[in-house]
């Protein structure tokens, strides 16, 4: 049986690919609407609180990921490019509290295909060493895989419920 998510590491990039059984407009909405983001964002066991979001080029999203360990992980991203419903790119700016901060670029593409959407999420770190540090400290690659799978699970439920 093939895994549902394909993950590829190329130098300082991690690329996740996943077919999602939902229309592209709904998949895009799940990435852009705070009430939808709260239902799936993050690795297994995490919940999400949005403090502020301006979903526009140059806008910021400030949020807290509440970990299953009871720790709150503050995050801030800046949207770099939005092409509804094909593309979202952003710079993750870390939390402003920890040194060195976790910073990377994310590019998410949404391609409509028969029966759903092909999603590709690329995370680009400043260097291969930084990717390795973040993977060792936070388990970032497994977390990214869980992140995409949680999206797919939420969207399957949303489609079945007609949301």
The tokens describing 78, both together, are 């800046």
Distance in angstroms (rounded) separating the CA atoms of residues 74 and 121: 21
Cβ 116 vs Cβ 19: under 8 Å: yes
The tokens describing 2, both together, are 């093939």
Distance in angstroms (rounded) separating the CA atoms of residues 38 and 53: 12
> Each residue of 100-157: pLDDT tens digit?
678 899 999 999 999 999 999 999 999 999 999 999 988 999 999 999 999 999 999 9
What is the domain count for the chain? 1
Distance in angstroms (rounded) separating the CA atoms of residues 112 and 119: 9
* Predicted TM-score (pTM) of this structure: 0.92
Specify the CATH number for the domain of residue 68: 3.30.530.20
Domain with 68, as residue range(s), is: 5-161
Distance in angstroms (rounded) separating the CA atoms of residues 36 and 161: 14
DSSP state of 132: H
Work out the average pLDDT over 7-26. Answer: 98
Residue 1 is predicted with a pLDDT of 37
> Each residue of 71-115: pLDDT tens digit?
999 999 999 999 999 999 999 998 856 656 788 999 999 999 999
Residue 132 burial by CB count (10 A; 0-12/13-18/19+): exposed, middle or buried? middle
């Amino acid at each position: 049986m093939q895994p549902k998510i394909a993950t590829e590491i190329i130098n300082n990039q991690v690329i996740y690919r996943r077919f999602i059984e939902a229309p592209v407009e709904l998949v895009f909405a799940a990435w852009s609407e705070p009430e939808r983001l709260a239902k799936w964002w993050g690795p297994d066991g995490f919940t999400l609180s949005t403090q502020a979001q301006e979903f526009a080029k140059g806008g910021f999203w400030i949020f807290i990921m509440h970990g299953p360990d009871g720790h709150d992980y503050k995050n801030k991203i800046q949207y770099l490019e939005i092409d509804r419903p094909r593309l979202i790119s952003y710079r993750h700016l870390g939390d402003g509290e920890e040194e060195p901060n976790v910073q990377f670029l994310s590019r998410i593409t949404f391609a409509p295909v028969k029966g759903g959407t092909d999603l590709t999420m690329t995370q680009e770190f400043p260097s291969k060493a930084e990717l390795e540090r973040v993977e060792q400290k936070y388990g970032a690659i497994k977390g990214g895989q869980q992140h995409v799978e949680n999206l797919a699970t939420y969207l399957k439920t949303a489609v079945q419920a007609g949301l």
